[in-house]
Amino acid sequence: MITNRTSLRLVAAALVSLAAHAALLAGTWLRPPEVPPELPPLTARLEPQPPAPAAKPQPAPPPRPRAAARQPQPAPSAPVTVNETAEAPAAENSLTVPAPATEPVVVASATPTVFRLPEKPPLPDFPSKGRIIYQLTMGPDRTPVGRTVQTWEFEGTQYKLGSQSESSGLIELFRPHRYRYLSQGTVTDQGLRPERFLSSVQRGSRTEEALAVFDWESRSIRLGRAPQQTTSDLPAGSQDIISFMYQLAMTPPAPGRIRIPFTRGSRLDMTSFDVLPQEIIETPLGQLRTVPVVQVREGDRESLAIWLATDYRNLPVRIRFYNREGEAAGEQLVSEIQVSER
């Protein structure tokens, strides 16, 4: 067994040696890969692009001959013009330049639009929207009882003014107060021209409402509580209690006495106001320079006074109300002003 195995190993070794020598002689022995030569470094440089050569115009292809009609057709009564585009022969591997487009045909027409310049805004220096928030106090000692929010909005030649006062705290719990006013109308070169004014005053469980309708064409005004309303003459420049304040803001009066037809919704009276010298007042916004406009008290009627802030587009920053005895019944003092152009 050992002899046979040894003989087999000797024969296998001889065969391997013989194959190796044969491959060496034939030149097919594996060789290590050659090391590639080192490449030179790449460099790049930006140079201006040479101008493109002008494209040479290509001659238009000859028109394709039309086939002759087999039978003659009668001539039409009116000449008809037909525009046909010559068909270019298809050329392989070449670009075909399209023939110039024919004149467009009008299939419909409309009346040209007339462009007009926008109307000049009647109040270019006054913001289109805004609101004023006031601290609301009552009595001569100015006890805080709530707040008031006044808003205005101008859209084109139309305006809308609103004022809403609400009590809070103990006053709201035992005897709530609500004062709501709404004024709507037109803005003219002379200022505000009210057309409708609504007043709603709630004291406790009692509510009083009044409506004033301004008819400027017939020069009449319908006002009072519905349905017991009356109609009277409407003087030029008449205002309601809200439009009156912003009318003064937009057209500040000169010092002295002025007279304005004025209504709170129930009656229209020719009311006098004194425009006093400037006065500095203390507010939550700091010291403000203002012009006081005080209603002249007549008889046992209620009255009011407003302070226009000269540095804030003459907006009313303080409004004080007096009862029929001439005592201070309530006051609104500005705490915030917000304006917007949209």
pLDDT digits (tens, 9 = 90+) for 266-308: 999 999 999 999 999 999 999 999 999 999 998 888 999 999 9
CB contact at 8 A, 332 and 179: no
Q: How far is CA 235 from CA 193, 259, 268, 316, in A?
A: 11, 12, 10, 25
Residues of the chain with pLDDT under 70: 1-124, 342
Q: Tokens 């909005």 belong to which residue?
A: 153
In 3D, which of 109, 180, 182, 186 has the Cα closest to residue 154? 186
Identify whether the C-beta of residue 275 lies closer than 8 Å to the C-beta of residue 307: no
Task: Work out the burial of residue 161: count CB atoms within 10 Å of its CB; fewer than 13 is exposed, 13-18 middle, 19 or more buried.
Answer: buried
Residue with tokens 């005897």: 175
Read off the amino acid at residue 333.
L
Backbone angles phi, psi at 328, to 5 degrees: -70, 115
pLDDT at site 168: 87
Residue 18: per-residue pLDDT: 52
CA 227 to chain centre: 42
The per-residue DSSP string of 61-110 comes to: PPPPPPPPPSSPPPPPSS------PPPPPP-TT-PPPPPPPPPPPP----
Cα angle value 152/158/159 (rounded, 5°): 15
Distance CA 102, CA 131 (A): 62
pLDDT in tens, 54-107: 555 555 555 555 544 455 454 444 444 444 444 444 444 444 444 544 444 433
